[in-house]
């Protein structure tokens, strides 16, 4: 029997309705407890939990646990140090460079999966994945392409999974070792901490947590005197020694094939300083030569070419974590006609969000 078109259409619709009702009868009812009833401010920013696994060094991600961060899924599989690590590194590696007797090799075996949703290549670099311990310093991958397989700086595409080694050279008395993942992708910086040694944990000391900023060096007119400590919301900084004129030039020339005489009217300034990083958030920070600069006679920053420093001194170039205390050297240009130059400690120099609460001014001589 051939049904009229309207009757046929009505039967099809009826069947679809009955199927839909039967499916819905088997579905659980909505739980009113998870419905957001806060309608006070529909434009309010969402609130994210601060208790995500591995978001603090006090509670790192346990080994064997996979965690997702924007663009990646990461899991620490194994950690070796000392002779155990050296045995892996020496397998087929005949060009081992000698290291200090107080230092040793460390290896973290990591599983990484790229979760990008496009067809572009992505990679993780030394500044995005490194080791740290109770000194709150960073120990980055130090052997290019070894031990294999190594994945840092290697292109990965969506859904690709790689297991490989991250290597470092660490002090023998460094403990509470963790792997730090600090990625800034999709306009979202994410930092996670992964346990390397069993029960590893670090946190900012109560002394640094409670250390309030002082009012020293807030302007060039009130610059800190030599040896005086300035305390900012995130840092504690003290100049221990300074060299200008012939003394600075002599130091920079020693064993330095790249030494260049300063231009007319300019001279070198070299300082030795103590620096403490006390940010209350778990934010790794790169501090380098461009964190410091001198002012000219008009109070403007002196900008010049990069200075090549000689070996033998610990020149500042470190990624630090809260709690780090370091003693380093830095060189910069100054004007020869200024007998007592003023230098600027400016860790917020590249902070484009308009916050510059850590800048301080210090006098030399």
Give residue-wise pLDDT tens across range 40-63: 343 333 333 334 889 999 999 999
Polymer length in residues for the chain? 365
pTM score: 0.81
- Give the pLDDT of residue 271: 97
Alpha-carbon Rg of the chain, whole angstroms? 28
Question: If you average pLDDT over residues 103-123, what whole number do you get?
Answer: 93
Nearest to 280 by CA among 208, 214, 195: 208
- Give the pLDDT of residue 168: 95
Q: Is the N-terminal amide bond of 102 cis, ω within 30° of 0?
A: no
- Whether the per-residue pLDDT at 30 is higher than 70: the answer is no
Question: If you average pLDDT over residues 232-246, what whole number do you get?
Answer: 96
Q: Which class is domain 207-363? A: mainly beta
Confidence band (pLDDT; 50, 70, 90) for 147?
confident
Least confident of 38-42, 125-129, 230-234, 261-265: 38-42
HSE of 284, CA atoms in CB hemisphere, 13 A: 30
Question: If you average pLDDT over residues 255-278, what whole number do you get?
Answer: 95
Report the alpha-carbon distance of residue 250 to residue 222 in Å, rounded: 31
- Whether the per-residue pLDDT at 2 is higher than 50: the answer is no
Name the segment(s) of the chain with CATH classification 2.60.40.1240.
Answer: 67-195, 207-363
Report the alpha-carbon distance of residue 16 to residue 9 in Å, rounded: 11
Question: If you average pLDDT over residues 252-259, what whole number do you get?
Answer: 95
Report the alpha-carbon distance of residue 286 to residue 284 in Å, rounded: 7
Q: What is the CATH number of domain 67-195?
A: 2.60.40.1240
Q: Mean pLDDT score of the chain, rounded to an integer?
A: 84
Least confident of 9-13, 71-75, 150-154, 164-168: 9-13
């Amino acid at each position: 029997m051939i049904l009229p078109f309207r009757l046929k259409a009505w039967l099809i619709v009826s069947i679809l309705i009955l199927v839909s009702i039967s499916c819905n009868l088997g579905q659980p009812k909505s739980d009113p407890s998870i419905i957001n009833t806060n309608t006070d401010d529909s434009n309010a920013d969402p609130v994210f939990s601060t208790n995500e696994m591995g978001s603090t060094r006090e509670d790192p991600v346990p080994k064997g646990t996979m965690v997702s961060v924007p663009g990646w899924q990461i899991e620490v599989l194994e950690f070796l140090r000392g002779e155990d690590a050296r045995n892996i590194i020496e397998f087929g590696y005949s060009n081992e460079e000698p290291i200090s007797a107080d230092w040793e090799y460390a290896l973290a075996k990591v599983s990484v999966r790229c979760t990008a949703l496009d067809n572009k290549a992505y990679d993780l670099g030394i500044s995005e994945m490194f080791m740290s311990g109770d000194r709150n310093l960073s120990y980055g991958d130090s052997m290019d392409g070894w031990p294999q397989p190594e994945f840092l700086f290697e292109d990965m595409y969506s859904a690709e999974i790689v297991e490989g080694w991250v290597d470092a050279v660490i002090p023998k008395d460094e403990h509470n070792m963790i792997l730090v993942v600090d990625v800034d992708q999709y306009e979202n910086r994410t930092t996670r901490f992964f346990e390397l040694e069993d029960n590893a944990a670090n946190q900012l000391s109560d002394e640094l947590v409670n250390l309030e900023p002082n009012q020293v060096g807030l302007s060039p007119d009130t610059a800190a005197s030599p040896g005086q400590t300035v305390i900012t919301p995130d840092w504690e900084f003290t100049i221990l020694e300074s060299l200008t004129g012939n003394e600075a030039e002599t130091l920079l020339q020693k064993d330095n094939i790249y030494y260049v005489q300063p231009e007319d009217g300019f001279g070198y300034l070299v300082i030795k300083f103590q620096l403490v990083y006390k940010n209350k958030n778990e934010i790794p920070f790169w501090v380098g030569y461009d964190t410091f600069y001198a002012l000219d006679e008009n109070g403007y920053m002196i900008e010049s070419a990069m200075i090549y420093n000689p070996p033998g001194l610990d020149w500042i170039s470190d990624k630090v974590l809260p709690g780090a205390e370091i003693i380093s050297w830095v060189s910069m240009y100054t004007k020869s006609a200024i007998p007592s130059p003023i230098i600027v400690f400016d860790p917020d120099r590249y902070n484009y969000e308009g916050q510059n609460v850590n800048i301080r001014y210090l006098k030399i001589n």
